[in-house]
Amino acid sequence: MGVFEYKGFSEAGKSVKGFIDADSIKAAKAKLRKLNIFPTEVAEEVKGKSEESSSAFSSITERISTADVALMTRQFATLINAGLPMIESLSALIEQLDSVRLKKVITSVREGVNEGSSLADSLGAFPNVFSNIYVNMVRAGEVSGALDVVLMRLADFQESQVKLIRKIKAVFAYPILMMFVGTGVVVFLLTFVIPKVTKIFENYKKELPLPTKILITTSNLLKSNWLIILILLILAIYMTKRYLNTTKGRRRFDKLALTLPLFGKLIQKIIIARFTRTLATLLKSGIPLLTSLGIVKNIVNNVIVEEAIADASDSVREGENLSETLRDTKMFPPLVTRMIAVGEKTGELEDMLEKSADAYENEVEAMVLGLTSVVEPLMIIVMGAIVAFIVLSILLPIFDLNQLSM
């Protein structure tokens, strides 16, 4: 089946364009007429060598981000809420999208719906774009007849996740940039500047001071063996990635992540914020608790917490309260389990989960800002100490030479 790009007019006489899947140009035109689109141009996408390389480059540079999907979801919800039929809403949505890749995805989704598949099943054909949470919520919306409401909740949920991630990235961007720049400057000094400066010590008759010896040895080692060091570094990264892809390696890493000084608490709070926000969104969309727990388990990105949620899910299946089972796992703070307990007693579990999510997202933001205020000065001190060591190592022999000449 090929992909065809078309231009034409809708029933209302409006100019439209987009992509459609079909076996031939004739079949593409027939499909368009079924969609009440009158094509004026239909052409198959040609994939020559130049286009394949362009497509490969596009796949790297043009990703379908969560922010793009969130915006698309909100537009889709608005169209459905306005009373437009599903196919017409998807067609209008395709016209509004800027991303070519997302246009093609929604075009395929529209084709699936037009051929009789449910919207959820059509979206589920693109797991890299639409997560399990997304598909299950859409399915619940279709069953309940409140698809527009569910789509709005999905858009709110995705936007809140994007907002949280952007805050974390924005706060840590400067320290990370500073670390790379600082490391680059030190490597440049050791490999290019220091060897030239230390040539003045070749005829130095006294024994060089220990800091100077360390500096010259480090510089020579880095300059002479930089290729070997680079290969070893790449090999170490590769082996670490392979180890982390194993069950044992992933488990040890996730356990270590939760116990790290300062950062362990931050990681735990981020996980709790995602857990409570996602669970609240799923429950509000009409998805049963056990199904919601099974979905949420896969988005926490930590094996230890996944196992805790799985144990809690088993206990809930046996008739226990969610708050008690989460408390027994020792992975969730008392504040969360108490709020969940209140929600279970009052019948407002979703609202209590949302309040927990708000509280922990605020804590994450405050903690990130606090960590940044510590990390930035610490990095400046470390870089200053390294530069001071280099300067001192060069100046000590020079001071001795001056004393000898006096």
Tell me the DSSP string of 343-373.
HHHHT-HHHHHHHHHHHHHHHHHHHHHHHHH
DSSP code of residue 38: E
Lowest mean pLDDT among 37-51, 209-223, 267-281, 334-348: 37-51
> Do residues 72 and 106 lie in contact, with contact meaning Cβ atoms separated by under 8 Å?
yes
Question: Which residues of the chain are in CATH 1.20.81.30 domains?
Answer: 163-406
- Give the pLDDT score at 232: 92
Lowest mean pLDDT among 92-101, 299-308, 310-319: 92-101
Q: Which tokens is 398 given? A: 């020079």
Residue 328 has pLDDT above 50, yes or no: yes
pLDDT tens digit string along 388-406? 888 888 888 777 665 555 4
- Give the pLDDT score at 58: 41
Residue 264 has pLDDT above 90, yes or no: no
User: In the beta sheet, which residues pair with residue 10?
Assistant: 37
The answer for residues whose C-beta is within 8 angstroms of residue 35's C-beta and 6 or more apart is: 87, 91, 110, 114
- Give the pLDDT score at 204: 66
CATH H superfamily, domain 163-406: Type II secretion system (T2SS), domain F (1.20.81.30)
User: In the beta sheet, which residues pair with residue 17?
Assistant: 7
Residue 378: C-alpha distances to residues 177, 179, 372, 388, 390 (Å): 14, 11, 10, 15, 19
> Do residues 358 and 339 lie in contact, with contact meaning Cβ atoms separated by under 8 Å?
no
Percentage of residues in the chain having pLDDT higher than 70: 91
Over residues 350-377, the mean pLDDT reads: 86
User: Which residue pairs, CB below 8 angstroms and at least 24 apart, start in 101-108?
Assistant: 101/58, 101/59, 101/62, 101/63, 101/64, 102/64, 102/68, 102/69, 102/72, 102/129, 103/18, 103/19, 104/3, 104/19, 105/64, 105/129, 106/72, 107/18, 107/19, 107/20, 107/21, 108/21
- Give the pLDDT score at 402: 59
Over residues 323-344, the mean pLDDT reads: 90
pLDDT tens digit string along 248-262? 999 999 999 888 887
Q: What is the 3-state secondary structure (H, E, C) of 238-289?
A: HHHHHHHCCHHHHHHHHHHHHHCCCHHHHHHHHHHHHHHHHHHHHHHCCCCH
Over residues 146-166, the mean pLDDT reads: 84
- Give the pLDDT score at 93: 87
Residue 202 has pLDDT above 90, yes or no: no
Over residues 118-132, the mean pLDDT reads: 88
- Give the pLDDT score at 209: 82
Residue 294 has pLDDT above 90, yes or no: no
30/37 Cα distance (integer angstroms): 10
Q: Model pTM greater than 0.85?
A: no
Residue 20 has pLDDT above 80, yes or no: no
> Do residues 113 and 122 lie in contact, with contact meaning Cβ atoms separated by under 8 Å?
yes
Q: Which tokens is 82 given? A: 């306005």
Lowest mean pLDDT among 95-99, 241-245, 252-256, 353-357: 95-99
Over residues 293-314, the mean pLDDT reads: 87
Over residues 269-285, the mean pLDDT reads: 88
Nearest to 283 by CA among 372, 354, 201, 235: 354
Write down the mean pLDDT value for the chain: 82
197/200 Cα distance (integer angstroms): 6
pLDDT tens digit string along 31-88? 777 777 777 777 775 444 334 434 433 443 357 888 888 888 888 888 888 888 888 8
Over residues 119-140, the mean pLDDT reads: 87
Length of the chain (residues): 406
Strand order in the sheet with 2-10: 15-22, 2-10, 37-44
- Give the pLDDT score at 164: 79
* Secondary structure class of 118 (helix, strand, coil): coil
Per-residue confidence band for 372, with pLDDT thresholds at 50, 70 and 90: confident
316 vs 201, higher pLDDT:
316
